[in-house]
Structure 1
Amino acid sequence: MSNTAKDVIIPTEPNIFRTIFLYAGQGDSTLLVVPDGDEYKYVLIDSNYDEAAGGIDIVELFKDLFDDGDSELDIYINTHPHNDHLGKIRDIYDQIGISQLWHSGHKPGKEHRGSYDDLEYVIKKIGEENVFRLRGSTEENKLDEKEIILGDIKYNVLAPADYVSDDIEDEKPETRYSRIHEQCGVIRFKYGEDEQQILITGDADYTAWKDHITDYHKDRLPSKVLSAAHHGSKSFFWKDGDTDEEPYKDHLKKIKPTYITVSAPKEKESKHDHPHKEAMDLYKEEVGDDKVFHLGEKRECIIVDIDSAGEIELYPDDELVKAYGKQDDGKDDGGNKVIIPPPVTKIDKKPMGA
């Protein structure tokens, strides 16, 4: 019997660092398949299940991926505890299992308490010794003031900085809630002899980048692939989304991405109108129209493979959405899916800057 999750997710060759930007509808979910000697570790960054927009049901996907009954998710990373980045975390723990958890440490307001309760539930279940705070650092593989090795890849936790978390934690609840995107996790992952990088940004906003990240981490920002912040929101470029002002673009210039992925449904399917046209125009201006991948446009995932030499390949996949994406009527999404021949896009196998 065919197992779509295993067929798509598990590399057929050794020493491949595979990143899958999963179509989650209104939300974010990225699966890292991390080489670890002859084996692989599985790391999920954020999760959501937007059934109305045909998003992937991550629990059903994991049931197939870990169908031996003995395996579980190695690491769950939460960039910040908003509902659309924490959806299904309790179900993932209860039905699949989670060995280790990394999180920003933010305590959200009442609106998002439900998902935060689920996060606290998982933290209690897996034990404090398996839980780590994301703390911005200049050091490689540094997590919560400890060296934590993640298979054969390397990483930099860029945000949130301790002083930002301390400042926000002292605020009143309503102010603390308004600054959640300022206290968001930002992590760069790296692999290959000719090193290639993938930058995960969560919902980190204008203030986070302008005041805390860009200048301090400028040498650690360059990345081949950028996961666009906040579902393609204009909050990445403008304070409070005020487009009457000039956009802030220093961060994008320092990241210097070749490819950009945007985790959002179609604008008409998003209660926040994500992705915002103003932001998408700036992304396309930076890398070109054909190098910005909006997951919701065709309801597809984007897969990035990096081998040990540093050769990189990027291609779309619609099989995971067809197998695990649901409509609000409970039917598989495959019937309405636009089929495209994979792969349609490959990154030139050249050193960065060539």
Structure 2
Amino acid sequence: MDLLEYQGKQLFAKHGLEISDGRAVTTVEDAVAAANELGYPVVVKAQVLIGGRGKAGGVKLAANEAEATEHATNILGLDIKGHIVHTLWIEKASDIDTEYYASILLDRSAKKPLVMFSLEGGVEIEEVAEKTPELLIKRNVDPLVGLTKDEALSIVREAKTPADVEEGVADILVALYEVWIEEDATLAEVNPLIITPDRKAKALDAKVSLDESALFRHPENAKLRYTQGEDEQEAAARAKGITYVALDGDIGILGNGAGLVMSTLDVVAQAGGTPANFLDAGGGSDAQKITEATEVILSNPNVKAVLFNIFGGITRCDEVAKGLIEAFGQLKPTVPFVVRLDGTNDVAGRELLEQADLPNVTPAKTMLEAAQTVVALAKENS
């Protein structure tokens, strides 16, 4: 779950990172009031879950009330790479001497936390990694020990950080690691981490992603989910406990298990089709879950055909068949379905579908056959 900048900063402050004072607002009037309260100059910052805000005109410096009004008016409602701005962060402007980069994330190959630090901040870190990789320090951390102050100092010294700010930058790395661990984050990033003229280190920006699977341990963080402008199908799926990601195509996909669904997307693309979604019904899906998942898929008006690709292990194919039969009774879909059932109780599942004689349902024996069939049906239905 990605957080907006100001939400990430609030988590940073909770763990001792220094941030600039600011206010989150949703109207021009509140933006101006916040700016007046903070004192000028202030920065008016669009709050969207996408990078490149500054280049898109979503970050502006206001020296007075007139400029604060102008910038808030222009930024609210602004479309930044498909993300509409509904919230602004009005922040006291900071004096900047130098910009650094710092982040903590999970290194899946090493199965350890990874600290990344660079004196080249304020730009896309991918650009630094590609053009000047020697300037990006990477250090795995023993999760049983954590990031100690001594190790943090070793990292910032390896980057050739000026001696007079080593301590402050190291303290930020330790606090950032604390955010990553204690908030169950998958990413905690500061870009830029600034050094002020009086040589203090401060987090000027925040990018935080939280592990959704761990939100039960952080009910206060679960409330931070940003839902404005969220895809309707994804919101409906989450409410039903279904893993769903909207895509741009016209073929609805349902499978059980993330790996199987990903493979199904690839095979459909190989057959010349374009998936409309990723939907993992999960292991042990019963008839009710299958019915709800079908409803989510069909709520997308772009869907021209649907593919069920089930490999039964914990999931029973007869339960999937019952769910599809129930869905047809409730939803009365008009688009064609292709169903491949293999594994636990697959024979019983196929018998149930044959007996139900559902309209526009075509069985398939293999994944490739199912993909080729659903692509052909989608084209016929276009």
Tell me the TM-score normalised to structure 1 length. 0.28
Structure exhibiting the larger radius of gyration computed from Cα positions = 2
Structure ranking higher in helix proportion? 2
Tell me the TM-score normalised to structure 2 length. 0.27
**Which structure is richer in relative contact order (CA contacts within 8 A, separation 6 or more)?**
1
